[in-house]
Amino acid sequence: MTKVKVKKYGSYWERNEKSGGYLLKKDIGNFIFKICRFVLLFGMCFLILQPILNKISVSFMEQQDLYNPIVISIPLHFTGENYQLAAKIMKYGEGLKNSAIISLTIAILQTAMCTLVGYGFARFNFPLKKFWFGCVFALIIIPPQAFSSSLFLHFSNFDILGIFKAVKGTTLNLRGSAIPYYLMSFTCMGLKNGLYIYLVRQFFRNIPVDLEEAAYVDGCGMLKTFVRIMLPEAKPIITSCFLFSLVWQWTDGFYSKLFIGGKVLVSTSLASIVDALGVYIARETGASNAQVGVSTQYSNAILSTGTILIVFPILVVYLFAQKAFVESISSTGIKM
């Protein structure tokens, strides 16, 4: 057996002396870099989390803590009455049910349609392809407020080639229902659909075409290849698009007010919670609305509580889908 000689480098200071002080300088530089990175990341996390932590803290404060200048972040008197009051004013149970049904169904519909369109842009050539993809970018860039008047008039007097007016003598008023939501989502004109199409297209462009060609050789058609080969590969991006759609639909107040109107949703209830608080206090105390003055601190506390009630279900959904969400974002790429 041949003995292997193990070279002994000596202590840290001996090695530093042999390197002319380079080892110590390198370690100090790495330590300073780690400290700076920690401070930067901590500062960024604090800027993001600090408003949420403040809302959580305020939501558990009694009224006497809200008016106490000494109490800043940690309540002296914990209470859950703010959550009971906010849930009662917002009609949280009814709003949660309606928002869950509408948001889930629309998120599924948007994800399905945008996946089909994104796959088409990634794999097939068709007339005016660049023009239609430019329209997708326009859908991302142009805010929905720019064509809100057109949407209002279109769905207030809905008709298809004059058929309804010819048969019934009048057009259909689809406002006050979720039908406009579903029609826009089915045609990929819903909220943020341009972004979903772009993300799906980028994801499929990063998948080798060899997979589909091998499936074609084995006798699979286009539809069967898409369903059995491409969709399983696209689970991360489909999950991300579903989460994006669910979150934006859950917190949307623009289309909800424009189309649905009187139906109770958590997003519209939160937007009017301060006014509803004044009406509730006036009804409970027997005073007129003009005589009721709700303090800014108390109204902000109820508003913060309502915000937590809306964010919590979405946070739970994200915790279960976090892995797939992060994986899809890292694999979409920017291949053009």
Q: Are 310 and 267 in contact (CB under 8 A)?
A: yes
The reply to whether CATH 1.20.1560.10 applies to domain 91-271 is no
DSSP state, residue 138: H
Q: Are 286 and 201 in contact (CB under 8 A)?
A: no
> Does residue 319 register a pLDDT over 60?
yes
> Does residue 1 register a pLDDT over 80?
no
Q: Which amino acid is located at 327 in the chain?
A: E
Q: Which amino acid is located at 51 in the chain?
A: P
Q: Which of 52, 99, 93, 49 is nearest to 251 (CA)?
A: 99
- The better pLDDT of the pair 10, 231 is held by 231
Q: Are 187 and 155 in contact (CB under 8 A)?
A: no
- The string of pLDDT tens digits covering residues 19-53 is 777 888 888 889 999 999 999 988 888 888 888 88
DSSP state, residue 229: I
Please give the structure tokens belonging to residue 125. 């050539």
* Cross-strand pairs, 172: 158
Phi, psi of 252 (to 5 degrees): -70, 130
Please give the structure tokens belonging to residue 68. 């106490």
* Cross-strand pairs, 195: none
At what angle are helices 129-141 and 193-205 packed, to 10 degrees?
130
By mean pLDDT, which of 48-52, 232-236, 287-291, 321-325 is the weakest? 287-291
> Does residue 335 register a pLDDT over 50?
no
- For the chain, give the longest Cα–Cα distance: 103
Distance CA 309, CA 303 (A): 10
pTM of the model: 0.79
> Does residue 289 register a pLDDT over 60?
no
The C-alpha torsion from 79 through 48 and 193 to 98, rounded to 10°, is 0
Phi, psi of 52 (to 5 degrees): -70, -40
- The string of pLDDT tens digits covering residues 254-273 is 888 888 867 888 888 888 88
- The string of pLDDT tens digits covering residues 192-249 is 898 999 989 988 888 888 888 888 887 888 888 888 888 888 888 888 888 889 888 8
- The string of pLDDT tens digits covering residues 83-136 is 988 888 888 888 899 889 999 999 999 999 999 999 999 888 888 888 999 988
- The string of pLDDT tens digits covering residues 81-98 is 889 888 888 888 888 998
DSSP string, 10-68: --HHHHHHHTTTHHHHHHHHHHHHHHHHHHHHHHHHHHHHHHHHHHHHHHTB-HHHHT-
Contacts of 300 (CB under 8 A, 6+ apart): 58
